Amino acid sequence: MADSCTLRRSFMTLILEESPVLEEIVVKGYEKVLKVTDKKSGLKAIICIHNTSLGPALGGTRIYPYATFDAALNDAMRLAKGMTYKSALAQTGLGGGKSVIIASPAKKTKELLYAFGQAVNLLEGQYICAEDVGCTPEDLKIIREATPYVVGLVHDKSSGNPAPYTAWGTYRGILSVLQKVYGSSSVFDRTVAIQGLGSVGSRLAELLFWEGAKLVLSDIDQEKTANLAKMYGAKAVSPQEILKVECDVLAPCALGGILSADTIPALRCKAVAGCANNQLLSDSDGDALLKRGILYAPDFIINAGGLINVTEELAETGYSPTIARAKTHKLYDELMKIYQMADNNKISTHAAALSLADYRIKYGLGKRNSRVQISHAR
């Protein structure tokens, strides 16, 4: 799941009168990958649907200035595949998808976002988009003007920013690794090193602070790092130092691919439990962590709180924050099952999680049996 994707593809332009233009990129193992362009707005994007065996694809829209189209495509594919596994293990009754808009978040325009919404709408519910890096609830509001297939809106029938739920699920995941490693889930006096202080990472720091954890913080924004370190009595370190800090738990909360053959030998933690997607550069890195005796909370389980929250918008009874909270709370139990499964089979926790997800997908466990209900479209 974490391995870089081989980009063997051919293009088929979808003949559509509407703007924008969608071109299908045929990629083995993926149901639909679309290159999206719109000359008027300057939109260049990719919508990637990996697997819809359990339900329509849902995944965030990432806005990022990728250096090349292939870099954007590879990221979209990795993220979409990760969403398939995340949805299967969280039993949301959804499939895996992701989209990326190739642009600087600072330069996004209303026209660009609206054109992207038009592209999503052309898929007629095959893909449902949400917030991601560079894409805010305010951006989703603009996308919503062109399509109802959006979740995570600031709306009385929607769930808003999913970051608090992702942070809570990550916190629960940290409790699970501490329970497994030390026999106690208490974070009091435990050292947690957080890489990335964005919407989720900063909330996670607050939760840990109030429960008595010792914090080591790092972010590319040095001013933010310094301010939060002062607020929480934490140690601030550079992005280059954070992966080498001695700690009980390393919490990657930035971009993915940070655990690799180059970085794993230098880790000085007992466990890795963070909210970043695709933390392993390759699947084999899960085995490398096992060999080093470092417990890994698979990212596509521990960071599922946001997905669980927005999924509740699709319930027939409408969105319920208390149900979303209860389901997110149970990520602790799901992770404990994975640790036991890994021990029983003498495999990495990453391999155990993939195996369980593949089983659920193959046999349709948790498949959605009712149509998706978009609360804010009613």
Residues involved in catalysis: 98
Bin 73: left if φ > 0, else alpha if -120 < ψ < 50, else beta: alpha
Pairing mode, strands 246-252 and 235-236: unpaired
33 strand-pairing partners: 48
Identify the residue whose tokens are 């990550």: 170
> What would the two tokens of residue 143 be?
């996308």
CA 200, 203, 206: angle at the middle one, nearest 5?
Answer: 150
Nearest of 332, 283, 282 to residue 304 by alpha carbon: 332
Distance (Å) of CA 178 to CA 21, 61, 186, 187: 49, 32, 7, 8
Q: Which residues of 54-92 are buried (b: 16+ CB within 10 A; e: fewer)?
A: bbbbbbbbbbbebeeeeebbbbbbbbbbbbbbbbbbbbb
Identify the residue whose tokens are 């195996």: 355
